[in-house]
Amino acid sequence: MAIADLGAVLRGAPKVELHIHIEGSLEPEMTFALARRNGITLPYADVAALRAAQQFTDLQSFLDLYYACTAVLRTAEDFQDLMLAYLARAAADGVVRAEIFFDPQVHAERGVAMATVIGGLTAGLREGQRQHGVEGALILCFLRHLSEAEAEQTLQQALPFLDQIAGFGLDSGEAGNPPGKFSRVFAACRALGKPVVAHAGEEGPAAYVRDAIDVLGVQRIDHGIRAIEDPALVQRLAALQMPLTVCPLSNQRLQVSPDLREHPLPQLLAAGVCVTVNSDDPAYFGGYLNANIAAVQAATPLTAHQWLTIISNSFQASLRDDAWKAAWQARLAAHFAEGGMLPAEARSR
């Protein structure tokens, strides 16, 4: 690279995606293709009409459309195709590993069995690894607007598939559904030896971030940006090196942080919090991982060194072993150096 170009270095950098809902990667084109395949009539005339409906005032207005579109996912083949399409896009963005949420309770409501969902998704993961070289892992999310008893029933249904589940999470409408509502089922997941994560501090208050750590025993917080409202909590997140899986375009489109120039990511980074950048529901929010990085960079330009930290954090925060993390972090640093983006302290040596 003759002239150092940070944008090109960022696009080509190896990365881990830690916050992607596979149902949120269902593009309008695929929604219509699967509707046709499964004989389902959608309440939208065409792809353009569905895209035009992607105007959100808050998290719930998005969830209403997101859950409605999952109606087209019926067979294992549907889930496999969805996964493979996501992994192709992830690979194009430099993603080498993705830890991928899925919402089995949404599918169970329509009579789609856990075996169908997990069977299709894992077949997609295998094919994605073969075709695109991206490794993937599944995180089963409980829906927090439903009861803990329903989450416990879902966990029972998941037990035969534990080998294919890397961890458990918590998503859906946050306001009024505090982490403490799921303390027993999360304890059960931890007792099974599985890591747990939770959405917290997206629309909900900073106290939910605290509770996700203290009550649920999470090892990562999804979103977590409202922690910025509690300086003592920010300090604690930094001291714990508790990762936050931040999703800038999601925050913008769901009006959590409508102006990215005021997004708390740079402040959290400056405070020493282990922040990462991710895509959440890219088919609904205007872009995949590299689009999120580009949107941050356009709104609040960060230095190469800051980006090296953020992307390195994505490896650090992954559910992989230390040797794997260290090997990729070294490759990542080499990629920055080869692009003329060596950190200043290394360049002056």
Calpha distance 122→79 (Å, rounded): 9
- Could you tell me the two tokens for 264? 């708390």
From the list Zn ion, ligand ADE, none, which binds 59 (C-beta under 5 to 8 Å, kind-based)?
ligand ADE
Q: Minimal distance in Å, beta carbon 101 to ligand ADE?
A: 7
Q: Minimal distance in Å, beta carbon 43 to Zn ion?
A: 24
Q: Are 165 and 218 spatial neighbours (Cβ–Cβ below 8 Å)?
A: no
Q: Are 211 and 179 spatial neighbours (Cβ–Cβ below 8 Å)?
A: yes
Report the catalytic residues.
202
DSSP, collapsed to helix, strand or coil, labels residue 81 as: helix
Q: Minimal distance in Å, beta carbon 144 to ligand ADE?
A: 8
> Number of residues in contact with ligand ADE, rule: CB under 6 A?
11
Annotate each residue in 229-258 with x if it binds ligand ADE (CB under 6 A) or - if it does not, as one string. ---------------------x--------
Q: Are 123 and 80 spatial neighbours (Cβ–Cβ below 8 Å)?
A: yes
State which of positions 257-316 bind Zn ion (CB under 5 A): 280
| Identity of the amino acid at 333 | A
Calpha distance 55→80 (Å, rounded): 28
> Number of residues in contact with Zn ion, rule: CB under 5 A?
1
Cβ–Cβ contacts within 10 Å for residue 132, how many? 18
Q: Which residues face 200 on adjacent strands? A: 223
Q: Are 59 and 174 spatial neighbours (Cβ–Cβ below 8 Å)?
A: yes
Calpha distance 39→19 (Å, rounded): 31
Annotate each residue in 35-64 with x if it binds ligand ADE (CB under 6 A) or - if it does not, as one string. ------------------------x-----
Q: Minimal distance in Å, beta carbon 39 to ligand ADE?
A: 26
From the list ligand ADE, Zn ion, none, which binds 202 (C-beta under 5 to 8 Å, kind-based)?
ligand ADE
Out of 10, 17, 18, 24, the residue judged to bind ligand ADE by CB under 6 A:
24
Annotate each residue in 274-293 with x if it binds ligand ADE (CB under 6 A) or - if it does not, as one string. ------xx------------
Calpha distance 322→48 (Å, rounded): 45
Out of 13, 15, 17, 21, the residue judged to bind ligand ADE by CB under 6 A:
21
Q: Which is nearer to ligand ADE, 172 or 252 (CB)?
A: 172
**Spatial CB neighbours of 60, under 8 Å, sequence gap ≥ 6:** 173
DSSP, collapsed to helix, strand or coil, labels residue 188 as: helix
Q: Which residues bind Zn ion (CB under 5 A)?
A: 280
Q: Which residues bind ligand ADE (CB under 6 A)?
A: 21, 24, 59, 66, 171-172, 199, 202, 250, 280-281
